[in-house]
Amino acid sequence: MKAIAALCLIVLAAPAGAHPHIFVNTGLTFLVDDQNRLSHVRVTWEYDELYSLLVTEDMGVDDDYDGILDADDIAKLTGFDMQWVEGFNGDLVGTADGVPMVLSQPLAPTAAFADGKITTTHLRAIEGAPTANGTFSFRPYDGTYYTAYEVGLGVEVEGSTHCRITLDTPDIEGALAMTKAELAALPQDIDMEAAGLGDIGARFATEVTLKCAAL
């Protein structure tokens, strides 16, 4: 979680709304079907302890603070982060050989709670289910930089042994220095979109590349 810890350094210097408030450790699982098509990606989000505490308190689960949720609590928690507004991309963008992919709304949500952290999963169906030959790229990030994502829970492929995964992690220190310098020159009440910083989270995004060989 070193990258996430580094992101916290910007909080003291950045204007309101220009630094992360939620920190999420992320995992991705790519699903290849029996027709050798990349059909889905399973996304895992592990929330930081503070945000997890706020959510459980707000939803009235784990009222005794023993860290153990019963079946009713888990049912109540499941899907709490799947109420997406229209146009929200699920903080995940993907391309197939450079062409943007269309991902479905979240499917089959799950939730768990352990060590003071909420962990959820959901599926995103890939429109057109492209044949798993070629190069696929995925980046989990929030363009507004309200939520900081780190790909620390692993990336894997299910259904194929012909794919290779690489992770291109960002230069956190360089991105922080650039961002802090830009923000320091802006008024506190600046509109980030108008300032050309509406996709500021992209500079902190890890790029996950999936290269699959033809069968």
For the chain, the structural domain boundaries read 2-212
pLDDT higher than 90, residue 16 = no
DSSP assignment of 67-78, as one string?
A: S---HHHHHHHT
> 176 falls in which pLDDT band (50, 70, 90)?
confident
> 193 falls in which pLDDT band (50, 70, 90)?
low
> For residues 155 and 160, what is the distance between their CA atoms, to the nearest angstrom?
14
pTM, to two decimals: 0.85
Q: pLDDT (tens digit, 9 = 90+) per residue, 23-65?
A: 999 999 999 999 999 999 999 999 999 999 999 999 999 888 8
Of 99, 115, 119, 122, give the one whose Cα is nearest residue 40.
Answer: 122
pLDDT higher than 70, residue 137 = yes
Q: pLDDT (tens digit, 9 = 90+) per residue, 19-30?
A: 689 999 999 999
- Looking at residue 9, what is its pLDDT? 38
> What's the maximum distance between 2 C-alpha atoms anywhere in the chain?
55
Q: pLDDT (tens digit, 9 = 90+) per residue, 159-174?
A: 999 899 999 998 777 7
pLDDT higher than 70, residue 5 = no
Task: Give me 215's structure tokens.
Answer: 């069968």
> For residues 130 and 116, what is the distance between their CA atoms, to the nearest angstrom?
38
Residue 43 has phi, psi (to 5 degrees) of: -110, 130
